[in-house]
């Protein structure tokens, strides 16, 4: 059985968007994290800021601190876009993100399925599936993984709706993208927003394709990114169920500020060790 320290290394520090990546890596390392996610859609980390010198510095930091590095693409960039000029631009967006994380010595890219406007759901869903097929080829060519996230449900009367929000939509992607590089970013909070629930997702897909489990809380109504205990998700049960199914991979802390993530990392590690 792994001890608390072993389980603590399973947690991913998602650096604040405003922090330069170097700061996130150094902060994470100084607080005992060995895994870091970042986003390249804010000025501090725009792809164009990663000059060859900066890339070399970050690769050195990754090696020095033995960091597993991943890039989280922006869910506001619609992977289901069908307008021709934007359709092409989004393929280029993905290519730049895959090239960037490869240049930094990273391991994976977190991707999404985009969103639709109700009346155009089917054509946009098909577009998103085809885009993820192309993204999987990018990943294979660069020796990277994709962690594909089940997305959050918006209220039924909302104008837009994210995909895939339930088991049926998620299965469309996993059935179509057969690449071993295409893995699941299992978002517990998003699963809590639909009738399937986390058990429904795990019953449907198991844990073999999970690349990481993403953690935050909500009250089962809409996306809130609450701290654990502020919503109605039973995290002890989630850890028990995942462990029972044989999951031993990473968890991303997707809530609060850096200090709160450290505190909850330590608490969660104790809970996992108790299992």
Q: Do 55 and 23 contact (CB within 8 A), yes or no?
A: no
Nearest to 107 by CA among 249, 213, 211, 178: 211
Does pLDDT of 108 surpass 80?
Answer: yes
The distance from CA 130 to its chain's CA centroid, rounded to whole angstroms, is 20
Averaged confidence pLDDT in the chain:
97
Strands 161-162, 35-38: pairing kind: unpaired
pTM score above 0.75:
yes
Q: What is the mean pLDDT of residues 245-258?
A: 97
Q: How many domains does the chain have?
A: 1
**Strand 145-149 to strand 182-187: parallel, antiparallel, or no bridges (unpaired)?**
parallel
CATH of the domain at 236: 3.20.20.150
**Could you tell me if 77 and 44 are in contact, meaning their C-beta atoms sit under 8 angstroms apart?**
no
Q: Could you give the CA distance from residue 32 to residue 25 in angstroms, rounded to a whole number?
A: 11
Average pLDDT of the segment spanning 175-192:
98
User: Out of 155-159, 195-199, 242-246, which region has the weakest mean confidence (pLDDT)?
Assistant: 155-159
Contact 170, 155 (CB under 8 A): no
Give counts: helices (H), strands (E), the chain: 10, 10
Coil, helix or strand at residue 226: strand
b or e along 78-102 (b: 16 or more beta carbons within 10 Å of the residue's beta carbon)?
Answer: bbbbeeeeeeeebbebbeebbebbb
Predicted confidence band of residue 87 (pLDDT cuts 50, 70, 90): very high
Confidence of residue 1 (pLDDT cuts 50, 70, 90): low
Euclidean distance between CA atoms 258 and 269, whole angstroms: 16
What average pLDDT does the segment 29-33 reach? Answer: 97
List b or e across 9-46, with b for residues whose CB sees 16 or more CB atoms inside 10 angstroms: bbbbbbbebebbbeebbbbbbeeebbbbbbbbbeebbe
Q: Which two tokens stand for residue 159?
A: 């104008």
DSSP string, 97-119: HHHHHHHTT--EEEE---EE-ST
Residue span of the structural domain in which 189 resides: 4-274
The full 3-state SS of 5-23, as one line of letters, equals HHHHCCEEEECCCCCCHHH
Q: Which two tokens stand for residue 219?
A: 């009250």
- pLDDT at residue 25, rounded to an integer: 98
Q: Considering the chain, what percentage of its residues have pLDDT values greater than 70? A: 100
Supply the pLDDT for residue 264: 98
CA 6 remoteness from chain centre: 22
**Is a pLDDT exceeding 60 seen at residue 133?**
yes
In this prediction, residues 220-225 reach a mean pLDDT of 94
Band (2; pLDDT cuts 50, 70, 90)? confident
Taking residues 230-245, what's their average pLDDT?
98
């Amino acid at each position: 059985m792994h001890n608390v320290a072993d389980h603590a290394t399973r947690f991913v520090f998602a650096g604040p968007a405003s922090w330069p990546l170097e700061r996130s890596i150094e902060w994470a390392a100084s607080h005992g994290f060995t895994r870091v996610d970042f986003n390249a859609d804010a000025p501090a980390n725009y792809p164009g800021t990663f000059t060859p010198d900066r890339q070399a510095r970050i690769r050195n930091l990754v090696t020095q601190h033995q960091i597993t590095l991943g890039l989280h693409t922006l869910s506001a960039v619609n992977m289901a876009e069908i307008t021709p000029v934007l359709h092409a631009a989004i393929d280029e967006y993905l290519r730049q993100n895959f090239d960037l994380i490869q240049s930094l010595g990273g391991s994976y890219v977190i991707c999404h399925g985009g969103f639709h406007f109700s009346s155009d759901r089917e054509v946009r869903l098909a577009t998103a599936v085809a885009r993820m097929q192309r993204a999987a080829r990018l990943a294979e060519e660069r020796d990277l993984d994709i962690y594909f996230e089940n997305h959050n449900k918006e209220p039924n009367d909302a104008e837009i709706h994210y995909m895939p929000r339930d088991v049926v939509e998620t299965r469309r992607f996993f059935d179509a993208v057969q690449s071993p590089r295409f893995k699941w970013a299992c978002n517990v909070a998003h699963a809590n927003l639909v009738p399937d629930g986390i058990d429904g997702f795990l019953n449907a897909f198991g844990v073999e394709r999970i690349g990481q489990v993403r953690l935050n809380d909500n009250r089962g109504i809409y996306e809130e990114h609450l701290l654990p205990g502020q919503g109605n998700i039973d995290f002890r049960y989630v850890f028990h169920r995942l462990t029972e199914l044989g999951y031993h991979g990473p968890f991303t802390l997707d809530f609060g500020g850096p200090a709160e993530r450290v505190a909850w990392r330590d608490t969660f590690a104790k809970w996992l060790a108790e299992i």
